[in-house]
Amino acid sequence: MENQEASTTQSLAKILPKLMGFARVAESLANRFKGTVLFGTASGALAAAWLAYFTHGVWHFSAAWALAVGVVLAVPALISGWCWSVLDDAVGLPQRIAEWMRRATDYAGETRERFQDKKETGGGRFKDLWQLGGLTLELAFMGGDARDLLGILGGTLALTNPIFLFALAGSAVAIGILDLGAFVAGLFYLFR
């Protein structure tokens, strides 16, 4: 049991620095670009809303067509909003991982102490079976903690996906074009 425990500790010691390095880089990127992406999301949504109103109010499209235009033009803002959400998840990631590791280590230590205490006291078959059931539940809870770590990392793993970067760049270009179109439509509306 001690050999398995040492192996687990060594594998955690290998993974944790890499995980914390990723978390620091992700947090740095998020802090750098989060405000810009949020501004792009807001400006894209406002441009889409303005252009939808413009198609209805100036060009006299039906309300259904104007709504359809607004929804289609809002897609880049929605993608940018999703990217902002991913970046927002990355803020504070190193602290959340460190907190998870501290909780998991504390919980594993408490479980190990209970197991050793129960092993020393002995008892009948029913008592051993009862203790085994309790330990099984505790191990299941530790598995739930591992899922918590995946939940912490899950959203930010999108930062490593090239599709995420293409989606962010594409939505930024589309929002720039939408903003320019909304500006031109505004000038047309003012000077018609």
Residues 6+ apart with CB under 8 A from 1: none
Are 148 and 100 a contacting pair, CB within 8 Å?
yes
The answer to whether residue 11 is domain-embedded is no
**pTM as predicted:** 0.76
The answer to whether residue 121 is domain-embedded is no
- pLDDT tens digits, 139-148: 666 666 667 7
Q: Which is nearest to 168 in space by CA: 46, 25, 28, 41?
A: 41
The answer to whether residue 3 is domain-embedded is no
Per-residue pLDDT in tens (0 to 9) along the chain, 192 residues? 556 555 656 666 677 888 888 889 999 999 999 999 999 999 999 999 999 999 999 999 999 999 999 999 999 999 999 999 999 989 988 998 888 788 777 776 766 676 666 555 555 566 666 666 666 666 666 666 667 777 778 778 888 889 999 999 999 999 999 999 999 999 999 998
- Structurally, how many domains does the chain consist of? 1
Are 69 and 52 a contacting pair, CB within 8 Å?
yes
The answer to whether residue 55 is domain-embedded is yes
